[in-house]
A and B are shown apart, each in its own frame.
Chain A
Amino acid sequence: MHSVVCIKQVPDSAQIRVHPVTNTIMRQGVPAIINPYDLFALEEALRLKDRFGGTVTVVTMGPPMAEAALRKCLSYGADDAILVSDRAFAGSDTLATSYALATTIKKIMGNMPVDLIFTGKQTIDGDTAQVGPGIAKRLDYQLLTYVSKIVDLDLEKKEITVERRAEGGVQLLKTATPCLITMLEGTNEMRFGDLDDLFRAARYDLKVWNREAAGIDDAEMIGLKGSPTVVSKVFAPRPRSQRAEMVETVDNDPKNLAVTLLAKVFTQHPKLEKEIAKRAG
């Protein structure tokens, strides 16, 4: 079987800082990592490969430095990696990105048919959760989002059964392959690759496709031109106009601090006092 896993290299959002003057992202010292949600997708694809054999191809669209993320995926056990990189992609929003990736995957399918496409549930930098559904629609594939478990896969009948996280419960869904799965976080744990994979990843001759190589003929569909959304303003969150009212006592004894705080809060918010009394009563 052949799975394609779409990943993205992202700045570690936990370590991001904003330039206080220009409000731009200061990338210095911020490590670039594989979007953590994508690792659940990759591991699931690798598990299917363990069971059924076959090939796992990892694809990313990004700048040349995204190579590191792809090599890392190879070291976990992915077989092939393709970096789709071209200045023409700059400024792509989710709609344009899903077009570029869907077209790339079509090109991959030309060489080897694809059974499943995996993505993470969203990225930690954009947080949109739109590219996965976008790819599925463009390929006219069934879309299975927030999958928590692959219950059954029948390659001959081309059928797959999954558990999908829905509002208020779990859906047990059955559909036809090929389809696109966005994997829910926490559903598996990424493996520690063995030495052979590590050596292979280090030596792998990475495929870098530009726009033409990826089969994207229509330049109007990507980049700023192919993006209906336009970022009109970027700014830092507004600080609240007033700092917290600090509660202090002469001795700063915890007990006195607590009593002083309560008196203050309840005087200024009598409704809140009633609410708490009602619940406790």
Chain B
Amino acid sequence: MSEQPKKPAKKKVELDPRFVNYKHVWVVVESERGEVHPVSWELLGEGRKLADALGVQLCGVVMCGPGERGAGICGEAFTYGADKCYLMQDEVLKDYRNEPYTKALTDLVNTYQPEILMLGASTLGRDLAGSVATTLGTGLVADCTELVIETETRNLASTRPTFGGSLLCTIMTQRHRPQMATVRPRVMAMPEADGSRSGEIVTVPFSMIETSIVTKVLEFIADDTRDKPNLPFADIIVSGGRGLKKPENFQLVWDLAKVLGAEVGASRPVVQAGWAELDRQVGQSGKTVRPKLYIAAGISGAIQHRVGMDGADVIIAINTDANAPIFDFAHYGIVGNAMTILPALTEAFKAHLAQAKKAG
């Protein structure tokens, strides 16, 4: 029943007096085994803008095991824009588990009272955000694509796609604090790191003991990343859609990708038909990507697809239908059959690269 378009709220809603002292913008810096999820840096970049608009501090929250480089992560967070970091290091926070992390973050919020709390929409972030919003009894907006401060009320206006991306809606949490939001990886731009920046680390002890925690991590089996596509962070992506007609024609996408050193993406119908694996699906129900070049072959550009690749620097679209929606937001378009254009493009890139190599 969530996110049904409701009647717009007209009346000005007053903030509950319990929350008037809530101040500053927080970003949960998600780390596992010492590795920070890049979405956290993207959030700091966005959080910086919000903090500046409000004239408050931007703070990182780092939760990890005692042996891990907590202070190091805080230091990195400063270079991406944080003014302050709350660092909680404890044995029970070594692996991500819902129960201790929910308690840790809930305690931190109740003690230090931020007005905005942001997390990445990763498996960890969504698990934690949904839980903490419930323990705090506050509003949470998932998968935001735009975050703005409403100047007169100081409220956060969070915009997100709904109904599979067909519509966008702006959601406010006017009476409660903190205002929570999650953002999918690659939706916001990666900020430039500024090595000269530093900040304050506030070390906070954690009071939970292992015997009181019900869920135990027996093992962590790391993914074999050798053959795993990593679309969200690929610089060049060649994607294929239903316009390729037959599964064997999808090879043409691979051929071009190989010449460009690109990742291969796919639209939802193609993934559903089994021509490409789920990890390659671009769009609302798949991955959000932000490459420097995105080539869409035989993809009509339905809104579900568009929301996942709109952030690409350069989009080239090939489609037989001159009226396909993809031409409304691509930068370059060719009206033609992907089955013949793709091989021609592959050859053209090959020739161009060979020439460039000779020249350079």
Q: B-contacting residues of A (Cβ < 8 Å)?
A: 11, 13-14, 16-18, 23-25, 61-62, 89-98, 123-134, 136-138, 142-146, 161, 165-176, 186, 224, 227-237, 239-240, 243-248, 252, 254-255, 257-259, 261-262, 264-266, 269, 271-273, 275-277, 279-281
Contact = CB atoms under 8 A, between A and B. Distances in A.
Nearest to B130: A133
Contacts of A89: 1
Contact of A176 (B129, B214, B307, B349): B214
B221 A240 contact: no
A13 to B, nearest CB: 3
Max count, chain A CB within 10 A of own CB: residue among B32, B96, B133: B133
Nearest to B258: A280
A125 B284 CA distance: 11
A126 B2 contact: yes
Contacts of B209: none
B157 interface: yes
Secondary structure at the A interface, as helix, strand, loop or mixed, is: mixed
Contact of B3 (A125, A145, A269, A280): A125
Nearest to A259: B348
A128 B181 CA distance: 11
B139 A93 contact: yes
Sort A-B residue pairs by CB-CB distance and give the 6 closest, nearest first.
A13-B164, A133-B130, A228-B139, A244-B333, A254-B344, A229-B139
B57 interface: no
B6 A230 contact: yes
Contacts of B278: 186
Contacts, number: 322
B67 interface: no
A168 B33 CA distance: 10
A257 to B, nearest CB: 5
B127 A244 contact: no
A94 B140 CA distance: 8
A266 B260 CA distance: 14
A89 B278 CA distance: 35
17 contacts: A14-B164, A91-B6, A95-B134, A133-B134, A134-B134, A138-B134, A145-B127, A168-B32, A232-B8, A234-B5, A244-B332, A245-B331, A254-B341, A261-B345, A269-B313, A272-B313, A277-B353
A227 B176 CA distance: 10
Given A231-B4, A231-B171, A280-B353, 15 more contacts: A125-B3, A126-B3, A127-B161, A131-B2, A133-B131, A146-B127, A167-B124, A169-B220, A228-B176, A233-B170, A248-B335, A261-B334, A265-B314, A275-B292, A281-B357
B334 A246 contact: yes
Nearest to A266: B352
B259 to A, nearest CB: 7
Nearest to B348: A258
A277 B215 CA distance: 50
Interface stretch (B42-50, B191-199, B241-249, B322-330): B322-330
Nearest to B170: A233
Given A233-B170, A265-B316, A128 B216 contact: no
Contacts of B335: 246, 248
A262 B261 CA distance: 16
Contact of B332 (A17, A93, A97, A245): A245
Contacts of B162: 125-127, 234
Interface string B284-321: 11000000110000000001101100000111110000
A14 B260 contact: no
Contact of A16 (B2, B142, B163, B315): B163
A165 B221 CA distance: 10
A176 B216 CA distance: 10
A168 B223 contact: yes
B173 A229 contact: yes
A167 B174 CA distance: 32
Contacts of B303: 237
Contact of B171 (A161, A232, A254, A261): A232
A114 B140 CA distance: 28
Contact of A172 (B129, B134, B219): B219
Given A232-B157, A258-B341, A142 B166 contact: no
Contacts of B9: 230-232
B208 to A, nearest CB: 15
B317 A257 contact: no
Interface string B329-360: 11111111000110111011100110011001
B6 A166 contact: no
